[in-house]
């Protein structure tokens, strides 16, 4: 090897080390990757009927990406020309802490905080779904999808919450920094999660006694028994490490959630592909005054793990939902569709099927029972 080549190799290796080093430093020493369940947590995981040969499996056969579509995905990632980010500032609303002091007259109020993060107030309980305040949906603070707008409400301004409920452990739904700060700020706060996810939370400093892990079909009471949270099936996958993404993965369970109070019921989808099981959930737990269903991050190469807008509206019908709040759009660039396409297609699908939609701006609070008239397509004014 010539001296020059040795130099070139050395510089390349040094550069790589610097990149890896920066990545690790900004991930807080790899803590963001979480932890594998051990002890009792592990025992419950391996006893689950959804656990097969070292990984969780969906109830219906499911592939993450259709065979032979990986190169197409890489090519579209690099060359797709659809506007995947908003062309101007988003019309974010900023609710004050005081606005949550008076409980909703109707008993049901919901605040969309962007992506899958939703504050639900139902029959006296406050539930915060998929709390992610982080700047990026990523284990790193310097690499990965960056949010289109800052969180509409600071964690300091958040009212007292009865439970943080997590759908699954992907970065756009479970954020280490947010969990740590919530646990520190709200001493009585409970964390209700699908099987296995408690290991991540414990690694981040949440005391085990404040974590409830549930299997599909299991439930727990919150707000001194006023409201019940039930983990229900979903069709998706899980994992926070690179090896989960390229391999079989699925080290923790994923779930949809039902919230049941004395007079109201709500459904939260997290991430899910379409499956006929929505009808069974609607039969057992519905009808729902409000469904919160994901509409963004769909794609033809991965049709089984992310519903598209038409499937989301269909799921709302099967669930016996009255009002649907579309979530999981307009906040991160995660798929090969225009940033506002999920909103347009959801509105069209709802109009075609007669479903009632609410389309809040980020940070906007809505009482579903007071909704009248057609939705305002506020996203069409972004960048105009
Ligand atoms: Zn996901
Ligand atoms: Zn997601």
Q: Tell me what pLDDT residue 80 has.
A: 85
- For residue 111 the two structure tokens come to 């605040």
Q: What is the Cα–Cα distance from 79 to 104, expressed in whole angstroms?
A: 47
Q: What is the mean pLDDT of residues 297-304?
A: 93
Going by the DSSP 8-state scheme, the letter that residue 133 receives in this structure is -
Helix, strand, coil shares of the chain as percentages rounded to 5? 30, 20, 50
**Residue 67, helix vs strand vs coil:** coil
Alpha-carbon span 106 to 370, nearest angstrom = 8
CA distance 40 to 231: 19
Q: Residue 8 — very low, low, confident or very high, per pLDDT cuts 50/70/90?
A: low
- State in Å: Cα 228 to ligand 2 middle: 24
Task: Name 38's Cβ contacts closer than 8 Å, sequence gap at least 6.
Answer: 199
Q: What are the CA-CA distances from residue 68 to residues 73, 76, 182, 286, 306 (Å)?
A: 10, 14, 42, 39, 18
Nearest to residue 297, comparing CAs of 255, 257, 258, 334? Answer: 334
- Measuring CA to CA, which residue among 340, 343, 296, 287 is closest to residue 316? 287
CA of 328 to the centre of ligand 2 (A): 7
Q: How far is the CA of 1 from the centre of ligand 2 (A)?
A: 48
From CA 85, how far away is CA 47, in angstroms rounded? 43
Q: How would residue 303 be classed by pLDDT, with cut points 50, 70 and 90?
A: very high
Contact 332, 74 (CB under 8 A): no
Expressed in angstroms and rounded, the spacing between residue 133 Cα and the centre of ligand 2 is: 14
Look at residue 6 and tell me whether its pLDDT is greater than 80.
no
Which numbered ligand comes closest to the C-alpha of 296?
A: 2
Q: Which DSSP symbol is given to 362?
A: T
Counting ligands in written order, which one lies closest to the CA of residue 297? 2
CA angle (234, 238, 244) in 5-degree steps:
150
Strand-pair partners of 110: 120, 366
Report how far ligand 1's centroid is from the alpha carbon of 238 (Å): 7
Round to whole Å and give the CA distance between 204 and 382: 37
pLDDT of residue 175: 97
Calculate the average pLDDT of the chain: 93
- How is residue 371 annotated by DSSP? -
Angle CA 175–132–359, to nearest 5:
150
pTM score over 0.85:
yes
Q: How far is the CA of 234 from the centre of ligand 1 (A)?
A: 11
User: What are phi and psi for residue 271, nearest 5 degrees?
Assistant: -100, 135
Q: Which ligand is nearest to the CA of 173?
A: 2
Residue ranges per structural domain of the chain: 97-381
The two beta strands, 356-357 and 219-222, are unpaired
For residue 236, the CA-to-ligand 2 centroid distance in Å is 10
Query: Residues near 81 by Cβ (< 8 Å), separated by ≥ 6?
Result: none
Q: How far is the CA of 130 from the centre of ligand 1 (A)?
A: 11
Ligand nearest to the CA of 132: 2
Q: Is 80 exposed, middle or buried (0-12, 13-18, 19+ CB in 10 A)?
A: middle
Distance 325 CA to ligand 2 centre (A): 16
Query: How many angstroms is it from 271 CA to the middle of ligand 2?
Result: 5
* Span 254-261, average pLDDT: 98
- pLDDT tens for 116-126 read 999 999 999 99
C-alpha 306 – ligand 1 centre gap (Å): 8
Q: Taking ligand 1, which is a single-atom ion, which protein residues have CB atoms under 5 Å away? A: 170, 271
**Per-residue pLDDT at 11:** 52
CA-nearest of 98, 97, 100 to 110 is 100
Does 19 have pLDDT greater than 70? no
pLDDT digits (tens, 9 = 90+) for 203-247: 999 999 999 999 999 999 999 999 999 999 999 999 999 888 888
> If you measure from the C-alpha of residue 384 to the centroid of ligand 1, how many angstroms do you get, rounded to a whole number?
32
**Which residues, listed in sequence order, are joined to residue 118 by a DSSP beta bridge?**
112, 129
Cα 146 to chain centroid distance, Å, stands at: 15
Q: Which ligand is nearest to the CA of 332?
A: 2
Q: Measured between alpha carbons, how far is 193 from 165 in angstroms, rounded to an integer?
A: 6
Residue with structure tokens 């699925």? 250
Question: Do 39 and 196 contact (CB within 8 A), yes or no?
Answer: no
Q: What's the rounded Cα separation, in Å, for the pair 311 and 294?
A: 10
Separation of CA 45 and ligand 1 centre (Å): 19
Mean pLDDT within 99-112: 96
Q: How far is the CA of 349 from the centre of ligand 1 (A)?
A: 23
Q: Note if the bond before 287 is cis, omega within 30 degrees.
A: yes
Ligand nearest to the CA of 305: 1
CATH class of 97-381: alpha beta
């Amino acid at each position: 090897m010539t001296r020059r080549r040795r130099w070139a190799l050395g510089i390349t290796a040094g550069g790589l080390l610097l990149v890896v080093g920066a990545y690790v430093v900004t991930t807080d020493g790899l803590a963001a990757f979480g932890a594998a369940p051990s002890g009792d947590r592990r025992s419950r995981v391996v006893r689950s009927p959804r656990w097969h040969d070292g990984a969780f499996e969906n109830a219906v056969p499911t592939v993450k990406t259709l065979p032979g579509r990986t190169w197409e995905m890489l090519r579209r990632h690099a060359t797709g020309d659809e506007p995947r980010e908003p062309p101007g500032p988003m019309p974010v609303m900023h609710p004050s802490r005081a606005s949550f002091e008076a409980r909703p007259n109707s008993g049901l109020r919901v605040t969309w905080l962007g992506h899958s993060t939703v504050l639900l107030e139902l029959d006296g309980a406050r539930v915060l779904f998929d709390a992610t305040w982080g700047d990026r949906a990523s284990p790193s603070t310097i690499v990965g999808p960056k949010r289109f707008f800052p969180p509409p409400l600071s964690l300091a301004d958040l009212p007292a919450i009865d439970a943080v409920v997590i759908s699954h452990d992907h970065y756009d739904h479970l954020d280490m920094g947010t969990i740590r700060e919530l646990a520190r700020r709200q001493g009585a706060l409970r964390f209700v999660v699908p099987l296995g996810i408690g290991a991540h939370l414990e690694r981040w400093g949440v005391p085990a006694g404040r974590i409830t892990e549930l299997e599909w079909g299991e439930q727990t009471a919150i707000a001194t028994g006023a409201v019940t949270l039930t983990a229900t099936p979903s069709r998706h996958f899980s994992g926070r490490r690179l090896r989960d993404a390229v391999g079989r993965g699925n080290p923790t369970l994923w779930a949809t959630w039902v919230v049941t109070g004395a007079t109201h019921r709500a459904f939260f989808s997290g991430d899910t592909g379409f499956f006929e099981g929505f009808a069974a959930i609607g039969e057992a737990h519905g009808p729902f005054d409000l469904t919160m269903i994901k509409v963004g991050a769909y794609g033809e190469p991965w049709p089984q793990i992310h519903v598209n807008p038409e499937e989301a509206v269909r799921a709302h019908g099967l669930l016996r939902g009255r009002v649907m709040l579309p979530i999981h759009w307009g906040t991160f660039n995660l798929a090969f569709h225009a940033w506002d396409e999920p909103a347009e297609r959801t509105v069209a699908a709802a109009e075609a099927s007669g479903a009632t939609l609410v389309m809040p701006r980020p940070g906007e609070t809505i009482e579903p029972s007071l909704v009248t008239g057609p939705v305002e397509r506020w996203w069409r004014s972004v960048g105009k």
